[in-house]
Amino acid sequence: MHYEDMQADSAFGFDGNWKDFAKIALPNLLLTIVTLGIYRFWATTRERQYLWSHTRFVDERLEWTGRGIELFVGFLLVALIIGIPFGLISLITNGLIFRGMIEWVGALTLFLFIATYYLTGLARFRALRYRLSRTRWRGIRGGSDDQGFKYGWSYIWKSFVGTMALYLLIPWSMTSLWNERWNKMSFGPYEFEAYADSGNIFARFLLFYLAPIILIVITAVLAVTGYGIGGAIGDEAQALGMELSFVIAMFVWFFVLGLIAAAFYAKFYREVVEKTLWHDLRFSFEASTMDWIKLYLGDFFIVVLTLGLGFVFLNYRHWKFFITHMEASGDILLDELTQSTAKTARHGEGLLDAFDIGAI
């Protein structure tokens, strides 16, 4: 077995390298272009095969057994089952607008909005189920017997409740949805158990509320300074000083919000992974806020410096980030670890694809 350089001290290891990945990603890009995008389902599959098979858990590599055709069929089904009704409804909406029946347009738009939300939740659930059911470790796979229809409703109402009280319940809706999703999943004969607590991430979330106050102070200081410095030089410089301060303030604003988002997400991810159990196994996720910031800054520069071409490496980077920061501890009794009896969906992540939700 070739595991020498795969972080032997950790339960998870990754030994892929970007040059090998490029040999998959770049031909994938070519094939995706010449097939007008249809190849992307097979491209995704090939990428995952590479990433999974270069990922070690304890003493065995993962294996991705999903197939391109499953994703393709999933896409076609969604196009038929959801695309056609959505298309018809939008045609009808169009007609209603021309007829001036605005109340009906409003009702239909609301219906579409709710349906989209429901399907987004369903899609997230099913994508996780699909990924677990196509992931093998020591020949064993995961999955879920739940279809996710109930999760779709939870996704609607929990997201809605999350926005109440000035969005203060968002940490609750995020952790609660994570728990609900993972509690329905299993790997081999054992179910996952998730009990993430929003109380532990709430303090970080409050940074979002503190930020505007700090930023307004900074903006005011900058504006006054700019105004003052400009004023000392002349009227035109005064206006310029104001404008410049404004630009700097805008930059600071987005930068600070980005930092807070990273800080919150880092904490959220640590909390939910730590509170997700699989039988006697505990997990943890070690990425700090700084690690997330480096990840996204790295993404940004890779894409910009390669004039966009670098986006093909983002999946690789994110997977590597995910695996290298994952830890696990506890015992696995291999004798007891039998094959999953959960049903396997025959087709892939069509819904997720249709709503354009990115994977990890």
Partner 1 sequence: MEQSFRTPAQWYDGHNAIRHEGEAVWDGGGSLHLRSFSSEMDVALDDLEYRDHRGGELVYTSKEAPDFRLIVPEDLPPGLAAKLPGKQVYGGWIDKVGLGKASAAFAAVSLAAVALFLTAPEWLGPRVPESWERNLGQAMVGDLGNRLCHTPEGDAALAKLLDAVDLASMQVRAGVANMDMVNAVALPGGQVLLFDGLVQDAETPEELAGVLGHEVGHVRERHVMTALLRQFGLSILLSGANSGLGDTVFGLASMSYSRDAEREADEFARKRMEESNVSPLGAARFFERIGGDSEAEDNSLVGWVASHPAPRERADAFRKAAEGKTFSPVLTAQEFEALKSMCEDDPDVEEFDFLF
Q: Which is nearer to partner 1, 305 or 343 (CB)?
A: 343
Whether the CB-CB separation of 260 and 207 falls below 8 Å is answered with yes
Please name which of 89, 87, 75 lies closest in space to residue 40, comparing C-alpha atoms: 75
Whether the CB-CB separation of 327 and 285 falls below 8 Å is answered with yes
Please name which of 41, 60, 51, 58 lies closest in space to residue 18, comparing C-alpha atoms: 51
Whether the CB-CB separation of 218 and 195 falls below 8 Å is answered with no
The total number of residues shown for the chain amounts to: 360
Quote the least distance from Cβ 273 to partner 1, whole Å.
22
Q: Which is nearer to partner 1, 97 or 214 (CB)?
A: 97
Give CA–CA dist 69/43, Å, rounded. Answer: 11
Quote the least distance from Cβ 299 to partner 1, whole Å.
21
Quote the least distance from Cβ 239 to partner 1, whole Å.
34
Q: Which is nearer to partner 1, 67 or 317 (CB)?
A: 67
Give CA–CA dist 357/148, Å, rounded. Answer: 17
Quote the least distance from Cβ 38 to partner 1, whole Å.
5
Q: Which is nearer to partner 1, 146 or 353 (CB)?
A: 353
Quote the least distance from Cβ 17 to partner 1, whole Å.
12
- In sequence order, which residues have a C-beta less than 8 Å from that of residue 7 and are 6 or more positions away? 13, 14, 324
Q: Which is nearer to partner 1, 188 or 310 (CB)?
A: 188
Q: Which is nearer to partner 1, 83 or 298 (CB)?
A: 83
- In sequence order, which residues have a C-beta less than 8 Å from that of residue 39 and are 6 or more positions away? 28, 31, 32
Whether the CB-CB separation of 182 and 195 falls below 8 Å is answered with no
List phi, psi (to 5°) of 134. -105, 5
Quote the least distance from Cβ 226 to partner 1, whole Å.
40
- Per DSSP, what are the bridge partners of residue 193? 277
Chain residues in the site for partner 1 (CB under 8 A): 1-3, 15, 27, 30-31, 34-39, 42, 46, 49, 53-54, 60-61, 63, 65, 68, 75, 79, 82-83, 86-87, 90-92, 94-95, 97-100, 136-141, 188, 332, 334-339, 353-356
Rounded to whole angstroms, what are the CA distances from 78 to 38, 81, 85? 15, 5, 11
Give the dihedral of Cα atoms 297, 299, 300, 303; nearest 10 deg: 160
Q: Which is nearer to partner 1, 72 or 155 (CB)?
A: 72
Quote the least distance from Cβ 212 to partner 1, whole Å.
31
